[in-house]
């Protein structure tokens, strides 16, 4: 089987969890014997990453929307195209239709009404409209990362018969609880409103006796640090071992994101034995609260902080729950999807 994978970023270029999903998708397919090539943006001199062959177009990620010709050229001998929103899905769909090839689109982001909080009103409304048009494209299959993401897609008019749910995974061998753990509440992610930085700061101010540790990144990182409460400790963001160790040392993981299609960091925290306080609608031991409910978040963290036995017990339960999330299972479902698509041509 030959597959062309398209995404507007691919490691070593990195902007968030979407690149992790794209990388693990590519890695898993190659391990299953798929003849795979990646088309993305970036430095054309980078022709592979960790053994994965890549071709990179030296354009801004937004310009990738206009690369249907290049995608069609590379997909000539492919059996199907695997793509992701936002900036690779439309040109991939146009190329697939031109060639008569099936296309599977993975929805990495689906924010809808949240765009009005993330952007000025008119721009937010525009992004919400664009996102809806993207998700309603005539893809052969639409791949959602979670049940709640699929439910939102169905509410927008997506055909249920063309959907598949592929929960992402993590490298479970890389995450484990430290012994001993630190008395600290951990947060990691992009330092912006969507990930709930305003909630993080407000909750920290309500709990001056609680220690918070943040490993984040973003264009406004320095100004955010200057305005942070004094009980927040910032440590440099590093992927790999440093991030795994930071998860393992934390007793509580705080993830007040306003909207997520999945939340890989949450699973990493669970596998690391953290009790979780989050707004993400997934199963975990801890407290699931509405996004923006700072009083309830502060109350939940305060209760866990004061009850170490309950916190440790929830952490152990989360280690058990995290075992279901692995990349082999993700790849199994994706390969079954491809087989169904190709058999139905």
Per residue in 122-151, pLDDT (tens digit) is 898 998 999 999 999 999 999 999 999 999
Span 179-202, average pLDDT: 92
Q: What pLDDT does 223 receive?
A: 85
Q: Give the pairing type, strands 2-6 and 80-84.
A: parallel
| Per-residue 3-state assignment (H helix, E strand, C coil) for 254-276 | EECCCCCCCCHHHHHHHHCCCEE
Domain 172-322 in the same topology as domain 2-169+326-343: yes
Looking at the predicted structure, is the pLDDT value of residue 345 above 80? no
- 49 forms beta bridges with 52
Separation between Cα atoms, residue 184 and residue 17, nearest integer Å: 24
- 54 forms beta bridges with 38
* pTM given for the model: 0.89
pLDDT band at 16 (very low <50, low <70, confident <90, very high): confident
Percent of the chain past pLDDT 90, that is, above it, reads 85
Domain boundaries, the chain: 2-169+326-343, 172-322
Instruction: Return the CATH class of domain 172-322.
Output: alpha beta
Question: For 151-161, b where at least 16 C-beta lie within 10 A, e where not — what string?
Answer: ebbeeeebeee
Separation between Cα atoms, residue 83 and residue 39, nearest integer Å: 10
Looking at the predicted structure, is the pLDDT value of residue 43 above 90? yes
- Among 90, 91, 135, 71, smallest CA distance to 109 is for 135
Is domain 2-169+326-343 in CATH 3.40.50.170, yes or no?
A: no
Separation between Cα atoms, residue 51 and residue 48, nearest integer Å: 6
Q: What pLDDT does 14 receive?
A: 84
Q: What pLDDT does 172 receive?
A: 94
Phi, psi of 233 (to 5 degrees): -100, 125
Helix (H) or strand (E) holding 313: helix 308-322
């Amino acid at each position: 089987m030959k597959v062309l994978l398209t995404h507007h970023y691919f490691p070593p270029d990195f902007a968030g969890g979407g690149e992790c999903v794209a990388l693990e998708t590519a890695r898993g397919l190659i391990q299953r014997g798929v003849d795979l090539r990646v088309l993305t943006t970036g430095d054309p001199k980078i022709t592979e990453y960790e053994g994965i062959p890549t071709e990179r177009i030296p354009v801004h990620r937004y310009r990738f929307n206009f690369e249907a010709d290049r995608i069609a050229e590379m997909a000539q001998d492919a059996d199907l195209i695997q793509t992701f929103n936002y900036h690779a899905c439309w040109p991939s769909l146009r190329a697939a239709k031109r060639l008569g090839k099936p296309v599977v689109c993975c929805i990495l982001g689906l924010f809808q009404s949240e765009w009005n909080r993330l952007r000025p009103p008119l721009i937010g409304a525009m992004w919400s409209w664009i996102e809806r048009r993207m998700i309603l494209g005539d893809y052969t299959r639409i791949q959602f990362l979670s049940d709640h993401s699929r439910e939102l897609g169905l509410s927008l008019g997506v055909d249920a018969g063309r959907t598949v749910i592929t929960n992402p995974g993590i490298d479970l061998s890389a995450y484990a609880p430290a012994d001993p753990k630190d008395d600290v509440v951990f947060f990691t992610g992009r330092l912006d409103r969507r990930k709930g930085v305003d909630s993080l700061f407000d909750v920290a101010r309500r709990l001056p006796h609680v220690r918070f540790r943040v490993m984040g990144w973003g264009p406004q990182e320095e100004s955010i640090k200057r305005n942070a409460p004094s009980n927040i400790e910032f440590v440099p963001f590093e992927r790999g071992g440093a991030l795994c160790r930071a998860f393992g040392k934390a007793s509580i993981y705080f993830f007040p994101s306003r909207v997520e299609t999945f939340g890989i960091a949450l699973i990493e925290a669970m596998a690391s034995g953290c009790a979780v306080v989050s707004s993400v609608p997934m199963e975990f031991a801890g407290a699931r609260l509405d996004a923006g409910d700072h009083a309830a978040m502060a109350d939940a963290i305060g209760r866990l902080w004061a009850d170490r036995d309950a916190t440790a017990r929830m952490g152990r339960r989360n280690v058990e729950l995290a075992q279901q999330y692995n990349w082999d299972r993700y790849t199994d479902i994706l390969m079954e999807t491809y087989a169904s698509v190709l058999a139905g041509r």
